[in-house]
């Protein structure tokens, strides 16, 4: 995918995993911070996603998951600024820090090198435009199809690939004539139309009926597998992460507090926040819960933006917090991982899994 001539210049922090383009890394985020002038919303977020890899980003609402995705896409709302280093190794343009790239160039990457599926399918499509035209637009815009008629043929193929019935007919309908699940398939077809190197999914199944969720998830996974695309999958559903992703990033208070392979992190969480999340989810399944025992919850609620404590962001809700947590806990790598130290470890002074519990 990347030729030696397009290997990234060493004009920025290369990160522990090596520069983008050297291997299979598609997206590398280093020290990403986002906020208004007064309020920091994301602090020092670092991670990478490899080609063909599916990485989950989990956390409660308000922990900064969507903001991370929007910062990568360069679609932050007005008034928010981003600093740090975001590199995408894709067809366009050569791996430069996307945060410093102008809107015109950034627009060329969006929908082509990377694309995104949003949470709410009911409002994600233009109600006054036929869905086929909305799919065709992204190909014509990036000139990945030579002509309008070629794009139209490809639209029918794409809609068929996301298992929509009678795609030729469906391409001529308007969004209001489709169900939520069907609309999300159309959104997925748009996102996959140009075979993106990176697909970002922001809670793509949360707004759907439970019966449709599994099917759509399956289509998402199939879509990225066929294209060997990297995927960043945002959700608050740990069960979904466990079935879809290989690696997981746990986010809280605008920071990544724990990261690692899904199996290890969920079976043996280290950060007290992850521990709480895992305990509060029903990952263990029905037989894991005895009788009518209540699911444990994390005490307190997520503070509003900018009201997280200094030091460990979780310490105001953590039963293990001590004076030591008042300063930012250092990142503690946990075993070797090919994607680097940031990919497997945690930032907790009193990690779980020790001898005391």
Residue numbers at the binding site for other proteins (CB under 8 A) = 73, 75, 78-79, 103-104, 107-112, 115-116, 118, 120, 123-129, 137-138, 141-142, 174, 176-177, 187, 190-191
In whole angstroms, how close is the CB of 141 to other proteins at the nearest point?
5
In whole angstroms, how close is the CB of 136 to other proteins at the nearest point?
11
Nearer to other proteins among residue 142 and residue 317 (C-beta): 142
**Strands, sheet with 40-50, edge to edge from the N-terminal-most edge strand:** 40-50, 25-35, 81-88
Report residue 56: phi and psi, to 5°: -95, 145
> Residue 333 in 3-state DSSP?
strand
| Cβ contacts of 80 within 8 Å, gap of 6 or more | 34, 35, 36, 41, 67
In whole angstroms, how close is the CB of 198 to other proteins at the nearest point?
12
Q: Is 304 within 8 Å of 295 (Cβ atoms)?
A: no
Phi-psi region of 291 (alpha: psi -120 to 50; beta: other; left: phi over 0): left
Tell me the torsion sign for CA atoms 91, 93, 95, 99. negative
Nearer to other proteins among residue 110 and residue 317 (C-beta): 110
In whole angstroms, how close is the CB of 263 to other proteins at the nearest point?
32
Nearer to other proteins among residue 157 and residue 177 (C-beta): 177
| Cβ contacts of 297 within 8 Å, gap of 6 or more | 276, 280
In whole angstroms, how close is the CB of 122 to other proteins at the nearest point?
8
Instruction: Name the DSSP class of 97.
Output: B
In whole angstroms, how close is the CB of 262 to other proteins at the nearest point?
27
Q: Is 48 within 8 Å of 25 (Cβ atoms)?
A: yes
Nearer to other proteins among residue 201 and residue 257 (C-beta): 201
Nearer to other proteins among residue 142 and residue 255 (C-beta): 142
Nearer to other proteins among residue 88 and residue 262 (C-beta): 88
Q: Is 348 within 8 Å of 333 (Cβ atoms)?
A: no
């Amino acid at each position: 995918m990347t030729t030696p001539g397009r290997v990234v210049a060493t004009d920025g922090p290369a990160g522990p995993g090596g520069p983008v383009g050297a291997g299979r890394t598609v997206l590398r985020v280093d020290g990403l911070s986002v906020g208004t002038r007064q309020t920091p919303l994301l602090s020092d977020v670092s991670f990478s996603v490899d080609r063909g890899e599916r990485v989950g980003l989990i956390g409660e609402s308000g922990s900064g998951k969507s903001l991370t995705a929007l910062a990568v896409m360069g679609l932050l709302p007005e008034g928010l600024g981003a600093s740090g280093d975001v590199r995408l190794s894709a067809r366009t343009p050569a791996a430069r820090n996307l945060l410093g790239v102008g809107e015109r160039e950034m627009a060329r990457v969006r929908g082509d090198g990377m694309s995104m599926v949003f949470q709410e399918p009911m409002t994600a499509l233009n109600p006054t435009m036929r869905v086929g035209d909305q799919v065709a637009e992204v190909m014509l815009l990036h000139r990945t199809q030579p002509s309008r008629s070629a794009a139209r043929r490809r639209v029918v193929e794409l809609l068929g690939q996301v298992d929509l019935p009678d795609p030729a007919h469906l391409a001529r309908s308007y969004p209001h004539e489709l169900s939520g699940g069907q609309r999300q398939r159309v959104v997925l077809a748009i996102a996959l139309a140009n075979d993106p190197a990176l697909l970002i999914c922001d809670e793509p199944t949360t707004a759907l009926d439970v019966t449709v969720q599994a099917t759509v998830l399956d289509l998402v996974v199939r879509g990225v597998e066929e294209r060997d695309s990297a995927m960043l999958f945002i959700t608050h559903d740990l069960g979904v992460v466990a079935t879809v992703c290989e690696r997981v990033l746990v986010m809280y208070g605008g920071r990544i507090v724990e990261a690692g392979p899904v199996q290890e992190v969920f079976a043996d969480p280290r950060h007290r926040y992850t521990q709480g999340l895992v305990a509060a989810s029903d990952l263990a399944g029905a037989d894991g819960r005895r009788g009518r025992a209540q699911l444990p919850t994390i005490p307190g609620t997520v503070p509003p933006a900018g009201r997280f404590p200094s030091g460990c962001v979780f310490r105001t809700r953590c039963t293990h917090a001590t004076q030591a947590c008042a300063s930012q806990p250092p990142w503690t790598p946990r075993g070797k991982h090919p994607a680097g130290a940031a990919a497997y470890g945690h930032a907790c002074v009193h990690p779980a899994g020790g001898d005391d519990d």
